[in-house]
Amino acid sequence: MRPTTPTGETPTAPPPPADQQSSGPADSSRRTLIISVIAYAVLATGLAIRQAGYVNADFIGYATIAHRALENPARSVSAHWSPLFSWCMAPLIGLGVNDLVAGQIVLLLAGAVYIIAFHAIAGLLPAGFALRRGPCLAAVMACVVLQP
């Protein structure tokens, strides 16, 4: 016979203290994502500092379009350049951020969004894939950081 309370309910054991609760799959997944984004931010920032003065022709085109978007948005439309990168740079440039720094910030944020998106998509895959999520995130992060 089960013990009951004066109201006739079966008593339940109190939950364990917060420091003794087990970490579930969601906590592990969140921890993996946070570690991945932090590691990416450190690596990408280090590479951005190392390549501080590097400029290529594409960047000059994107920066030009960003400046045009600030001065006269109608002139910023081009058939040769995708506008999203320039549109993301324009507010930073408008705030007085250097063109190169604005471009590096946009690239850093885009890489972080890429990693977060991969993590979200990986969470939708079958359970067996979850075991490989950490190594896959590391591989994706390496591609994002080291892309030419």
Summarize pLDDT for 24-62 with one digit per residue, the tens. 556 777 888 888 888 888 888 888 888 877 888 888 889
Q: Is residue 29 part of a domain?
A: yes
The total domain count for the chain is 1
Q: Is residue 19 part of a domain?
A: no
Local confidence band at 147 (pLDDT 50, 70, 90 cut-offs)? low
Does the pLDDT of residue 14 top 70, yes or no? no
Q: Is residue 88 part of a domain?
A: yes
Please tell me the predicted confidence (pLDDT) of residue 89. Answer: 95
Does the pLDDT of residue 126 top 90, yes or no? no
Domain extent at residue 120: 25-146
Q: Is residue 1 part of a domain?
A: no
Q: Is residue 11 part of a domain?
A: no
Q: Is residue 133 part of a domain?
A: yes
Q: Are 115 and 36 in contact (CB under 8 A)?
A: yes
The proportion of the chain whose per-residue pLDDT surpasses 90, expressed as a percent, equals 17
Residue 73 structure tokens: 């948005």
Q: CA-CA distance, 20 to 33, in Å (whole number)?
A: 23
Does the pLDDT of residue 94 top 90, yes or no? yes
Residue type, 87: W
Q: CA-CA distance, 42 to 108, in Å (whole number)?
A: 10
Q: pTM for the complete prediction?
A: 0.68
Q: Is residue 140 part of a domain?
A: yes
Residue 118 CB-density burial (10 A; 0-12 exposed, 13-18 middle, 19+ buried): buried
Does the pLDDT of residue 148 top 50, yes or no? no
Q: Is residue 100 part of a domain?
A: yes
Does the pLDDT of residue 9 top 90, yes or no? no
Q: CA-CA distance, 15 to 37, in Å (whole number)?
A: 32
64 or 144, greater pLDDT: 64
